Amino acid sequence: MIKRVFVALIVLSISTYAQFIKPQLKFVEDTYDFGRIKQNDIVQHTFEFYNAGGDTLKIFDISASCGCSVGTLKKKEYAAGERGYLDVRFDSHGKFGNQVQRIYLRTNEPDNPTKVITIKAQVYIDTTGSPKIFFDKMFHNFGKIEEGKIYETSFAFTNTGQGILEIVDIHSSCGCTAAIPKKRILKPGEVSEVRVEFNSTNYNGLVTKYVTIRTNDPSNPEVILTIQADVYRK
């Protein structure tokens, strides 16, 4: 019985020692949250790491998610207990809402050769000084109309923002014609309208059409107007 216990202790000691002499990459923190940041801001955080094992740690390469860049390490090999620092930069250009980016480090750690660290951010759009488009209505129902005729309505809009508003493009679905507004560029407070025609030829029953308007309003770059009609044939 004593012999068995002694053998078990030896095996456990060897296993513990083998575990200790392996390289092991440890981060002081493996996740960092930047919190709320403004769109187009570039933020940076430094991750501290160390070799928690007993053998030399080798970092072969580092890769990152889109929108995230990683600084170059001063060295690729770290002795037992040695510390290092990794700079991670996040570019929020074109991003919006909750963001999660991951950085992957490939090492010679036998049990966990790929280490993953994470950065998070909530990106918001600062609309201060920006244009803002506002329509008095975004839906129009012609009601019951006769097939073969052309019907027209208009959608008035205002630049309620603080910057210059530009109508970049207008696209309508088949059977619907959207006129270019008299003013494509509006100063704050100015008003314009989009005239929309619907040709009911060859239609029957309930019809729904859409007009898509692209603008430079950062909070609402694409507006969709809807028209509807119940077409009948004589």
Q: List, for residues 183-234, the tens digit of each pLDDT value.
A: 899 999 999 999 999 999 999 999 999 999 999 998 899 999 999 999 999 8
Binned at pLDDT 50, 70 and 90, residue 4 comes out as low
Q: Is 98 helix (H, G, I), strand (E, B) or coil?
A: strand
Task: Write down the domain spans for the chain.
Answer: 24-124, 133-232
Identify whether the C-beta of residue 231 lies closer than 8 Å to the C-beta of residue 145: yes
The number of CA neighbours under 13 Å toward the Cβ of 100 is 5
| Nearest Cα to Cα of residue 120 among 27, 38, 30, 34 | 34
- On the question of pLDDT at 13 being above 70, the answer is no
Residue 1 has a pLDDT of 55
Residue 68 has a pLDDT of 80
Residue 211 has a pLDDT of 93
Task: Give the architecture-level CATH label for domain 24-124.
Answer: Sandwich (2.60)
Q: Apex CA 155: angle with CA 154 and CA 156, to 5°?
A: 115
pTM score above 0.85: no
Domain 133-232 indexed as CATH 3.40.470.10 = no
CA distance 24 to 36: 33
**Alpha-carbon dihedral 13, 16, 19, 25, rounded to 10 degrees:** -150
Residue 182 has a pLDDT of 80
Q: Same CATH fold, 133-232 and 24-124?
A: yes
DSSP category for residue 202: T
